Structure 1
Amino acid sequence: MRSLSYICASTGETIPLEGPGIWAQTADGLRGREWSYTLGYRSLTGVSRTAREAELDLTYVRCPEKVDWTRRLFDADVAAGTPGMFDADGWTTRAYVVKAEPQTITPVIIQQKLTVVMLDGIWRKAGESQHFWSDALTPGLDLDYPHDYPHDYLATTRNAVASNPMPTAMPFQMVIFGPVSNPQLTLGGNTYALDMDIPSGSYVTVTSIAGRRTIVMTAENGDETNVFDKGRRGTGLNGGEYIFQPIPAGDSIVQWSGFGVDLTVYQEESEPPWRN
């Protein structure tokens, strides 16, 4: 772990925890991992990664004012019920700092043991955006006939590949650009569809992270509209037509027509990787 910081949700301020004034040392408490489960007869059931408590040792060197500053930011998030975020080399997890116990107090050094509630049980990092271009940005899709015909030809459906480098299915963020009516995209055997019109200059962002699923349309002037009900859900997870279906592991063929799409696959780990 080369860098570690806490981002306050209430103010947007970032607390660097790798010096020069505040040190989290090896932050070993944040590195642990734990699955929740129920034991059965030669089996596990109810397997999930849930919230857990962890300890974090902080050392403040010649900066008592930063002890006050960090306390206020930690407490602001707890009081407001808006979790902050730890960032370790770009991997993030939501958390509250709910307790601080002084360990050492000298004119030079103040040491505290913090109790941290890690809400997600995972660390998450966004992968690189994968672009699937609109027809307007992909010339040569259709044949250029030397004369007109009295009818239109069906728009070409392109095959491309979406990649998820993790060994299990992962959440995503998908941005669908207008103009398009009732867009749908097929990936890994699932159809991602919106029952709505997206005007020119607007786009819809679908976020599938558990506990934070959203579908929002952003207009050309920047206005945002909640269009959560426009996402097609079919029979739910693994039903073949679920707007929040996780992206399967490996490479998957993508089929779509006409509109442009940006896809970001999130990577999730039980603890931040030892090497990035």
Structure 2
Amino acid sequence: MRTMAYTCGATPHRTVDLIDPHGIMVNRIESLRTHAWDVELAAHGIDSAALNASTVQLEAKCADLSILDTASNLFDADIRAISSTGNRNKAGTITVDGWTQAALITGIEPSRDLPDPAKYTLTVALLDGVWRKPATVQHFLSDELQPGLYLDYPYDHPYDYKAPTRGATTINSTGAPMPFKMVIFGPCTNPSITIGGNRYELTMTIPVGAYVTIDSQTGHKTITMTDINGDTTNIFDKATRGSGLDGGRYIFQPIPAGETNAQWNGFGWDLTIIMERSAPAWLTS
């Protein structure tokens, strides 16, 4: 473990360093790596398996109680925000070496006070059940950014030859289908992207300079358009959801594992696989 921090949900610009030798210092994180699938057994196998929210405890110390007081106020603010609004996005986030999970610090139990460094136990509610980290962004450029992509027919006719559907390969290096963030850049009308057997489609026009961001993470599913001025609009209703998961036209269909063919027409788009693990990676680069 190299870095560990709590980012506030109610005040996102505030961050509490959890491995600060001069402030709050969590020395060991075994409890964050401890996990268990909630498995429903069948006669000769399992009917279902899920990683659910859980509560863990972290042993910590702090030589400066003013830092602990400030952190406690931030922890409390997040709990009040999520309990009063019911908005899950007001929860904080714990980050360990780039792996993140929505979380709340729900309790502090001291075992020793000053003049020695204060020792105490943090009770942490891990809300997602999984840890997530974005993989490297995969860029798929628009036609206009790739001169000479198609040869022009040298004669004029009262009709045009249609450019062929573009093709490329998406890469999901994990061993299972994963959620994603997808950014589609304007200008384009009714953009659709086919990856494997699923079609990701919007029924709308994205203007010049604007882009649409699709986030498929469980608990965070959103579709927003950002215009040329930076203003954002919720366009969830513009996405095709078909019959849902595995139906062939589901906007949030996880990206298959491995290398998968992708097809689209003309516009540019980015894809970021969101890697999920049951615990933060033991080794990080």
The offset of 1:38, in angstroms, is 2.1
How far apart in 1 are the matches of 2:107 and 2:172? 38
CA distance in 2 between partners of 1:107 and 1:186 (Å): 63
Partner of residue 9, structure 1: 9
Q: Deviations over 1:112-158 (max 9, x none)?
A: 11111100111100111111111101122222232222211112212
* Cα distance between partner residues in 2 of 1:38 and 1:257: 44
Identity of aligned residues (%): 46
Is 1:141–1:156's contact at 8 Å kept on the other side of the alignment?
no
Deviation at 1:248, TM superposition (A): 0.4
1:36 alignment counterpart: 38
Name the amino acid aligned to 2:18.
L
CA deviations on 1:209-268 (whole Å, 9 max, x unpaired) are 112111111111112111101111111111111111000001111111111101111000
- Contact conserved, 1:77 with 1:96, CA < 8 A, in 2? yes
SS at 1:273's partner residue?
Answer: coil
What are the equivalent positions in structure 2 for 1:103-182 lying under 5 Å apart? 103-182=111-190
Instruction: Note if contact 2:166-2:266 (Cα within 8 Å) is conserved in structure 1.
Output: no
Aligned to 2:65: 64
The one-letter amino acid of 2:6's match is Y
1:146-178 deviations in Å (ceiling 9; x for gaps): 222221111221211111111000000111111
Confirm or deny that 1:246 pairs with 2:247.
Answer: no
RMSD over aligned CA atoms reads 1.1
Aligned to 2:87: none
What is the aligned residue count? Answer: 275
- The one-letter code of the counterpart of 2:235 is V
CA–CA separation in structure 2 for the residues paired with 1:34 and 1:77: 27
SS of the aligned residue for 1:264 comes to strand
Q: For the Cα contact (< 8 Å) 2:57–2:123, is it kept in 1?
A: yes
Q: CA deviation at 1:31?
A: 1.5
Aligned to 1:85: 93
Question: Is the contact between residue 34 and residue 121 of structure 1 (CA under 8 Å) also seen in structure 2?
Answer: no
Q: Please, what TM-score do these two structures have when normalized by structure 2? A: 0.93
Deviations 1:79-126 (A, max 9, x none): 111211111011101111111111122313101111111001111001
CA contact (8 A) 2:226 2:233 kept: yes
Matched residues in 1 for 2:80 and 2:154: separation? 70
**Is the 8 Å Cα contact of residues 28 and 58 (structure 2) preserved in structure 1?**
no
Shift of 1:37: 2.2
Q: Aligned partner of 1:57: which letter?
A: E
Instruction: Please tell me the residue identity of whatever aligns with 1:47.
Output: A
Give the letter aligned to residue 129 of structure 1: V
Structure 1: runs of 5+ lacking an equivalent: none
TM superposition outliers: structure 1 runs of 4+ over 4 Å:
none
TM-score (norm 1): 0.96
Q: Which secondary structure does the structure 2 equivalent of 1:222 belong to?
A: coil
Amino acid at match of 1:34: A
Secondary structure, counterpart of 2:28 in structure 1: coil
Report 1:200-219 matches (<5 A): 200-219=208-227
Q: Quote the Cα distance in structure 2 between the aligned partners of 1:35 and 1:119.
A: 14
> SS at 2:262's partner residue?
strand
Aligned equivalent of 1:223, options 231, 234, 248: 231
In structure 2, how many angstroms separate the alpha carbons of the residues matched to 1:165 and 1:104?
Answer: 46
Q: For structure 2, list consecutive stretches of 5 or more residues without a partner in the other structure.
A: 83-89
